[in-house]
Chains A and B, each alone.
Chain A
Amino acid sequence: MRNLLNIDNLTVTFPTNNGPVDVVKGISLSLGRERLGIVGESGSGKSMTGRAILKLIRSPGKVKADRLEFDGIDILSQSERQMRSIRGARISMVMQDPKFSLNPVMTVGTQIAEAIKTHQKLSAQEINDKTLAMLKSVRIENPERVLGLYPHEVSGGMGQRIMIAMMLVPEPDLLIADEPTSALDVSVQAQVLDIIDNLVTSKGMGLILISHDLNLVSSYCDRILVMRAGEIVEECVASELHAAKHPYTQGLLAAMPKIDEDREWLPVFEDMSGSQT
């Protein structure tokens, strides 16, 4: 089967006072209809990679790649107008915080309906049915009530589920989830990820899950890329993460406290902490 996404030598550059800085330094990856996790700390370029795929990086940022191909379409040569038919319909993205990503002055129902209307021509009744069905599929109880609510009237977990509903309603081929749960509670996190997981598996979508949480990524993905300072330092099968070879990955794993912690001190990266000097 043809790969859903092929990236060769992707570079994202931003100009600064001290000259251009590469935030993503020539990474290559390919993705089938599978679940890929990208892990890394802040500033590692993981979100920029996700945004570059959707061509969401605006000037003065620059994206260069030998190949950036989604389902045979060369993303880099697409015009803004052509991108619009890809974004949402073919590739969609779940952002980190529902508080900032939902439109505060539109009801939940209107927002989801808008996502459908943009990509499909349906009657008002069909749109309404589809919206309700989608809200149900993200396990929102009594969706009729939620339709009329404004984003500030729903909890964080519900907001994120609404975001997911909105992103999945046009049935995209690829879902990019950028820290979909870091704004949520532990107990809600698992729920939201299970929903994403179910929908992705049942519809045969590709998923890119971007997160800083190694454990979370390893339990919800098939493959994992570890990024650091714009480079992919390690690629491994999720179940073999604990056998990671790169010192950075090992360091990250060791730096995390465990519930049955018996270490007196946690190991830290000596070279990364500017404050230790």
Chain B
Amino acid sequence: MSGIHIKNLNVSYGDTTVTHDVCLDVAEGESLALVGESGSGKSTVLKAIAGLATQWTGQIEIDGVARTHSIDRGIATKCQMVFQDPYGSLHPRKTIDATLSEPLQIHGIKDQSQRVIEQMANVQLDERYRFRFPHQLSGGQRQRVAIARSLMLGPKFLLLDEPTSALDVSVQAEILNLLKRIRLEQNLTYLVVTHNLAVVSFLCDRLAVMRSGEIVETANVSQLKSNKLEHPYSKELLQASRNHTSEKENV
């Protein structure tokens, strides 16, 4: 079965179980959002899929292959993750070129230089930045590098953990456009963690609402747009997000 399928996933950190029987199906080519407050376990689900949180029970199946608890190169080529904070996720002492080549080296892929150049063009990052260090780039440019790095191995699935929440409004718009474009061009599947429902509306087809480690509702984005979420908690979340905008209009 293609896509990402998760069944009864319980992830623990030490003695604390963070997610409780999470079941999630992401069809191929789909863009699914996981929304919820901090501490609801949405990032933890991504980490378990990416293999960063190894203490879990249940089933994780990626493109027909079950994920094991250890490092899995096959899954790494199919499924990559982009982190929230581009200031923290890039190695400060590696040039952009080194950062982007590293996945290729690990997987023993040739034409590294060519691929780095191609991928930088793909994320609209000028070639002159290739031998710079992360501190010489702006936040938006760093996030482009992080996205380029995740695409180096030609994955089918991207796990995006709050990809734009550390960015300014205008830069956020650029990165959102970029993510939308590469998804269309390369037919990628996204699993996006975010707390920003407007981002969900722009980038995703479906959303799953999480609260204290459980998925309380899955809905289509059309339901979000037309205010038709069912679970009381989802409604509350939607209301909180809409508040800023509606209050302004009521004044």
Chain A interfacial positions (CB closer than 8 Å to B): 41-42, 155-156, 185-190, 212-216, 218-219, 238-239, 241-242, 251-252, 255-263, 265-269, 272-277
Contacts and interface: CB of A to CB of B under 8 A. Distances in A.
Contacts of A251: 170
B183 interface: no
B140 A273 contact: yes
Given A219-B244, A260-B201, 8 more contacts: A189-B240, A215-B245, A216-B244, A239-B248, A259-B198, A261-B202, A265-B177, A266-B176
A42 B176 contact: no
A261 B240 contact: no
B169 interface: yes
B133 to A, nearest CB: 16
Interface in B217-242: 224-226, 236-238, 240-242
Interface in B21-55: 37-39
A251 B172 CA distance: 13
Which among B139, B196, B244 has the greatest number of chain A C-beta atoms within 10 A? B244
B195 A186 contact: yes
A265 B224 CA distance: 19
A229 to B, nearest CB: 13
Contacts of A218: 244, 248
B201 A242 contact: no
Given A190-B243, A261-B225, A266-B177, A252 B237 contact: no
B237 A187 contact: yes
A247 B55 CA distance: 51
Contact of A258 (B38, B176, B201, B248): B201
Nearest to B172: A255
Contacts of A269: 170
Nearest to B181: A265
B247 A219 contact: yes
A212 B139 contact: no
12 contacts: A41-B169, A185-B195, A212-B168, A215-B244, A219-B248, A238-B251, A239-B248, A252-B169, A252-B170, A255-B170, A273-B174, A275-B124
Contacts of B125: 275
Contacts of B224: 259
Contacts of B240: 186-187, 189-190
Which among B170, B177, B226 has the greatest number of chain A C-beta atoms within 10 A? B170
B72 interface: no
Interface of B: 37-39, 124-126, 129, 138-141, 144, 168-174, 176-177, 180, 195-199, 201-202, 224-226, 236-238, 240-245, 247-248, 251
| List of 4 A-B pairs having minimum Cβ-Cβ separation, nearest first | A255-B173, A215-B244, A266-B173, A257-B202
Contact of A214 (B169, B241, B242): B169
A272 B170 contact: yes
Nearest to B201: A261
Contacts of B39: 155
A239 B144 CA distance: 35
Nearest to A216: B244
B177 A268 contact: yes
Nearest to B238: A259
Contacts of B170: 41, 251-252, 255, 268-269, 272-273
Given A216-B244, A274-B141, A260 B225 contact: yes
Nearest to A42: B168
Contacts of A185: 37-38, 195
Contacts of B199: 257
A95 B179 CA distance: 32
Contact of B201 (A239, A257, A272, A275): A257
B135 to A, nearest CB: 15
A241 B248 CA distance: 9
A238 B126 CA distance: 39
A215 B177 CA distance: 21
